[in-house]
Amino acid sequence: MIKISKSRAGTQRVTFSLPVGAPPGRVSVVGSFNDWTPGRHHLTPRSNGRRSASVDVAPGTVLQFRYLGENGHWFDDPDLADRADGNCVCTTA
């Protein structure tokens, strides 16, 4: 699940969220916002039973991303249908 909200200094906060344990183990979100570097944005457990990571970007930014689980398991956001070049895509307002 992707949530986009206003942040400080006119940026948009994009929160990437998955249920705890689906898939099991550590998961990071990897994409255009972190130069496709695995491990820079690990999803961490939250009190609501999900795990998430957030990034701040300029309004109008087009983000391409995928999730990377343990043992090199790449997967897409299950709630997002938009795809470009095999990656999930979201655009901030």
Average pLDDT over residues 77-87: 69
List pLDDT tens digits, range 15-36: 999 988 888 999 999 999 999 9
Q: pLDDT averaged over the chain?
A: 87
Q: What does pTM read for this prediction?
A: 0.85
Tell me which fold the domain 2-92 belongs to. Immunoglobulin-like (2.60.40)
Listed by start position, the domains of the chain span 2-92
- For 82, the token pair is 């938009």
Give which of 64, 59, 63 is closest to 9, Cα–Cα. 59
List pLDDT tens digits, range 44-60: 999 998 999 999 998 88
